[in-house]
């Protein structure tokens, strides 16, 4: 899969620009705060349907603008495709796929595949569980649109359930009928999400282990395991039994949940256990080892995408080379053959003598920008 071009209108600090890319390595270089990450963010919006910075659409718009747009032209092994995101400050976005308006994000995500690696991911090993869950959700959603829909439905039920638990003006007994209905809905969605995450982690574990051993010359070994209250392995993959067991678990803790005014169990609290040579990496790994594992996880994500779709995703690297030592820099660049890479950097000299497409970025303008034929995004 390759990005051919992308156009931006009123996106972040970019008023109006168009960028084209080569199939190999593309470098967006320039000083800080010029628009390198913004350009990458626009591309990633088509992979996961949202910004990796966790902001609302209105915050993606250029200051003072009420609307803006992104248009991505890319090719997969079958054909050329076009995706458009029209963004507004006061109303819902419009999503267009090959000229057809798409109503649901779950129907929009999954056409374009991208693996993002940014400095925040280097904290994934020792950071909070939500960072590891976000990694999983972003990776799986691109491969399984139904998973993204399940996540959205789960978030809606969780919001209703927590609101009910906080409604302290009503007695627990009065709230129990609705509590049981919402718990049953949550149990079914939780089962689907956890089963999908478990399958993905088992595949990722093998790939990450291979990359880390390769990176360290066989000296270090890692293992990944999904940690959840609802372990599908206990039920032999029986979704109904797993859902019923989760429902029973939640309702057995009903008193505690009403007291806490919060949902205490579910996939929104799950985690990934990452061990290095048999010990918890978050407790014992050095900073360099953390970065090796994070890099291996991102490369592994790319391999699983290729296995599922038949082709590599586009790799989007936001200023990660400056965070890696020389050895890991070399390893990363050596592993990127046959893949399209779009990378940001402040240091042009890192790529001296390399066969890469250099794009200079300054104040939301790009060296190889081409004029648009019209004002549409």
Distance CA 197, CA 202 (A): 9
Distance CA 24, CA 365 (A): 22
In a domain, 99, yes or no: yes
Same domain membership, residue 219 and residue 102 = no
Q: Which of 220, 246, 217, 221 is nearest to 231 (CA)?
A: 246
Q: Which of 233, 160, 144 is nearest to 193 (CA)?
A: 144
Q: Is the per-residue pLDDT at 374 higher than 70?
A: no
In a domain, 231, yes or no: yes
Same domain membership, residue 209 and residue 146 = yes
pLDDT score at 289: 92
Same domain membership, residue 98 and residue 183 = no
Same domain membership, residue 98 and residue 58 = yes
DSSP 123-162: GTTTS-HHHHHHHHHHHHHHH-HHHHHHHHHHHHHHHHHH
Give the number of other CB atoms < 10 A from CB of residue 133. 17
CATH number for the domain that contains residue 48 = 3.40.50.300
Look at residues 312, 327, 356 and tell me which one is the last residue of a structural domain.
312
Same domain membership, residue 129 and residue 98 = no
φ, ψ of residue 136 to 5 degrees: the values are -60, -50
Q: What is the pLDDT of residues 142-159, one digit of tens each?
A: 999 899 999 999 999 999
pLDDT score at 256: 96
Same domain membership, residue 293 and residue 144 = yes
H/E segment holding residue 206: helix 172-215
Q: What is the pLDDT of residues 336-373, one digit of tens each?
A: 888 999 999 998 888 888 888 999 999 888 976 443 44
Task: Please tell me the chain's helix, strand, coil percentages from 3-state DSSP, rounded to the nearest 5.
Answer: 45, 20, 30
Q: Which two tokens stand for residue 274?
A: 């990452």
Q: Is the per-residue pLDDT at 325 higher than 90?
A: no
Same domain membership, residue 188 and residue 161 = yes
Q: How many domains does the chain have?
A: 2
In a domain, 298, yes or no: yes
pLDDT score at 232: 67
> Would you call 103 helix, strand, or coil by DSSP?
coil
Q: Is the per-residue pLDDT at 255 higher than 70?
A: yes
Q: What is the pLDDT of residues 60-108, one digit of tens each?
A: 999 999 999 999 999 988 899 999 999 999 999 999 999 999 998 888 9
In a domain, 31, yes or no: yes
Classify burial at 307, counting beta carbons within 10 Å of its beta carbon; exposed 0-12, middle 13-18, buried 19 or more.
exposed
Same domain membership, residue 145 and residue 107 = no
* Contacts of 92-97 spanning 24+ positions with Cβ under 8 A: 93/57, 95/49
In a domain, 321, yes or no: yes
Q: What is the pLDDT of residues 163-177, one digit of tens each?
A: 999 999 999 999 999
Same domain membership, residue 107 and residue 83 = yes
Average pLDDT, the chain: 91
Look at residues 290, 312, 334 and tell me which one is the last residue of a structural domain.
312
Contact 341, 312 (CB under 8 A): no
The DSSP code for 61 is B
Q: Is the per-residue pLDDT at 297 higher than 50?
A: yes
Classify burial at 210, counting beta carbons within 10 Å of its beta carbon; exposed 0-12, middle 13-18, buried 19 or more.
middle
Distance CA 39, CA 178 (A): 45
CATH number for the domain that contains residue 273 = 1.20.1050.90
Pairing of strands 114-117, 314-318: parallel
Report pTM.
0.90
Question: Span 267-291, mean pLDDT?
Answer: 94
pLDDT score at 377: 34
Contact 24, 2 (CB under 8 A): no
In a domain, 119, yes or no: no
pLDDT score at 371: 38
Contact 69, 10 (CB under 8 A): yes
Rounded alpha-carbon distances, angstroms, from residue 10 to 63, 85, 128, 318, 361 = 8, 12, 34, 21, 16
Same domain membership, residue 91 and residue 128 = no
Look at residues 312, 329, 362 and tell me which one is the last residue of a structural domain.
312
Domain that includes residue 61, residue range:
1-113+315-377
In a domain, 322, yes or no: yes
In a domain, 118, yes or no: no
Same domain membership, residue 149 and residue 109 = no
Q: What is the pLDDT of residues 13-27, one digit of tens each?
A: 999 999 999 999 999
Same domain membership, residue 307 and residue 184 = yes
């Amino acid at each position: 899969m390759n990005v051919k071009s992308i156009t931006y209108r009123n996106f972040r600090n970019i008023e109006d620009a168009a960028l084209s890319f080569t199939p190999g390595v593309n470098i967006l270089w320039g000083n800080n705060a010029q628009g390198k990450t913004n350009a990458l963010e626009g591309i990633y919006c088509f992979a996961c349907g949202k910004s990796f910075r966790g902001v609302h659409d209105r915050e993606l718009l250029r200051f003072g603008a009420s609307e803006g747009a992104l248009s991505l032209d890319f090719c997969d092994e079958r054909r050329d495709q076009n995706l458009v995101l029209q963004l507004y400050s006061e109303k819902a976005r419009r999503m267009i796929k090959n000229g057809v308006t798409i109503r649901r994000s779950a129907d929009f995500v999954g056409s374009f595949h991208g693996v993002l690696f940014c400095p925040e991911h280097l904290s994934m090993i020792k950071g909070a569980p939500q960072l590891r869950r976000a990694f999983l959700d972003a990776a799986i959603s691109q491969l399984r649109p139904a998973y993204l829909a399940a996540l959205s439905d789960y978030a809606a039920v969780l919001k209703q359930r927590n609101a009910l638990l906080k409604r302290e003006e009503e007695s627990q007994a009065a709230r129990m009928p609705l509590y049981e209905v919402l718990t049953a809905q949550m149990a079914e969605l939780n089962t689907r999400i956890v089963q999908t995450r478990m399958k993905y982690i088992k595949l990722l574990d093998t790939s990450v282990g291979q990359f880390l051993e390769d990176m360290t010359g066989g000296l270090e070994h890692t293992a990944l395991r999904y940690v959840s209250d609802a372990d599908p392995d206990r039920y032999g993959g029986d979704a109904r039994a797993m859902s019923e067991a989760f429902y029973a678990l939640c309702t057995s803790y009903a008193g505690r949940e009403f007291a806490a005014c919060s949902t205490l169990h579910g996939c929104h609290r799950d985690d990934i256990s990452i061990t290095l040579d048999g010990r918890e990496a978050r407790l014992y790994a050095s900073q360099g080892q953390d970065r090796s594992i994070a890099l291996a996880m991102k490369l592994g994500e790319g391999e699983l995408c290729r296995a599922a779709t038949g082709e590599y995703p586009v790799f989007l690297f936001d200023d990660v080379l400056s965070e890696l030592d020389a050895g890991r820099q070399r390893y990363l660049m050596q592993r990127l053959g046959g893949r399209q890479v779009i990378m940001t950097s402040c240091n042009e000299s890192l790529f001296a003598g390399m066969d890469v497409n250099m794009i200079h970025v300054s104040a939301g303008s790009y060296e190889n920008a081409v004029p648009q034929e019209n004002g549409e995004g």
